[in-house]
Structure 1
Amino acid sequence: MPRRRRGAGRYPRLARGGPRLRWLLVLLVAGCAPTQPVSDWERQNRQRLVSEDTAAPPPYPRHADLIEFYVSPTAEFKYFVDARSLSVGADRIVRFTLVARSPSGVDNVSYEGIRCPREHRLYAVARAEGSWSSRDSDWREFARGTSLGWQYALAHYFFCPHRDPIRSAAEGVDALRRGSHPSVYVEPKNLGGSN
């Protein structure tokens, strides 16, 4: 009597297919496995990222629309927000055009967003002739005490009072003109004044 191959009795095709067919079956079974449940936090954050509005950069800022704001006593640049560009989207992101003027008078112009209370994103950078170059970056936390302290200053003193975004562009423009949001206490030394 001829000797039968091992495993050929019950499933002869499986035995002939060898390891390749077995791996295919393992992969098929793994693909049918139930997915892990998604937590409320994951669902909420996924929705927040998916629902972000996309906005085209506004017109290049005019000198008359720039509002200067104070960053810190160590800041070498002067910082301005273009009042016409300030907006608050349905996604609760505060978007604006920032002008950072160097001590030699050179303007660095960018279109940015702040997601309260402590994240920022760069959307575009202006070219010398006034057009925009897209620089769509990821959301990043901003660091205090760095040369990018203007991000913290804008969020903390103007656009995110009590860690929530302002409700309208008019509220943000008013805060910039006052020197801080009316509901945020600012010590006089932090407003650029002297004691």
Structure 2
Amino acid sequence: MADKFHTVVAATLLMVAAVAHAQSRFEEDFDDKDKPWQEIAVQLPAAPQPGDLVPFYVSATATQSFAIDTRSVSVGQDGVIRYTLAAVSDAGAKNISYEGIRCATYERKLYAFGRNDGSWSRSHRDQWERIQSNAANRQHAALTKDFFCVEKTVAGSAEDIVQRLRQGQTLAPQSNR
């Protein structure tokens, strides 16, 4: 009888240990904190059309005006907001670029430059860079703070972001602009 009791106890302990191990593996599989971030493959969008460009405010001292192609705005599974940016200088020079902003790290990346024929030229500077709030690159800080991110989180879906851009409805209080 004692042997049967010990066998049942041993089997029960093995079963409890197996369940505990399975539970820890289950939790490990869903623990994204310790997994390294990985960027998804980027697909370049169609060239922007004038009717899809929505301007946004950068600063009173900006020497360029900026607009986002609303058809190009996307939020990837990797947490990156990707968009086409149109910049026009006071002298009339135009630049089109396809870029990404990562709220979690307050970084930006330049993927490609638009050509006059509507095609793209991939950027040779294919790395993430910290967003600066200085006058020279204020457009990235304005997008991040005013339309894209709350703290280190993407502020809604691509549709939410486009709606804010179209309505000129910023996330930041007016005093912070």
Please tell me the TM-score bracket, short chain as reference: 0.7 to 0.9
From 42, 52, 57, the counterpart of 1:70: 57
Q: CA deviation at 1:64?
A: 0.2
2:100 corresponding residue in structure 1:
113
1:184 corresponding residue in structure 2:
172
Partners of 1:75 and 1:97 lie apart in 2 by 19
1:91 corresponding residue in structure 2:
78
Deviation readout 1:173-195 (Å, 9 max, x if unpaired): 111123233x53223x83xxxxx
Please give the root-mean-square deviation of Cα atoms over the aligned residues, in Å: 2.1
3-state SS, counterpart of residue 86 of structure 1: strand
Partners of 2:153 and 2:115 lie apart in 1 by 32
Q: Is the 8 A contact 2:74 2:82 kept in 1?
A: yes
Pairs within 5 Å for 1:130-169: 130-135=118-123, 137-169=126-158
Q: TM-score, normalised by structure 1?
A: 0.68
Partners of 1:173 and 1:112 lie apart in 2 by 16
Q: Is the 8 A contact 2:103 2:151 kept in 1?
A: no
Q: Which runs of 4+ in 1 moved over 6 A?
A: none
3-state SS, counterpart of residue 139 of structure 2: helix
Partners of 2:86 and 2:172 lie apart in 1 by 24
Partners of 1:41 and 1:92 lie apart in 2 by 13
Q: CA deviation at 1:41?
A: 10
Q: Which ranges in structure 2 are unaligned for 5 or more consecutive residues? A: 1-30
Deviation readout 1:66-94 (Å, 9 max, x if unpaired): 00000011101000000000000111100
3-state SS, counterpart of residue 180 of structure 1: coil
Q: Is the 8 A contact 1:69 1:79 kept in 2?
A: yes
Q: How many residues align?
A: 145
Q: Is the 8 A contact 1:58 1:85 kept in 2?
A: yes
Max Rg structure: 1
From 42, 48, 55, the counterpart of 2:42: 55
Q: Is the 8 A contact 1:156 1:163 kept in 2?
A: no
3-state SS, counterpart of residue 148 of structure 1: helix
Partners of 1:148 and 1:69 lie apart in 2 by 14
**Structure with the higher fraction of residues in strand conformation:** 2
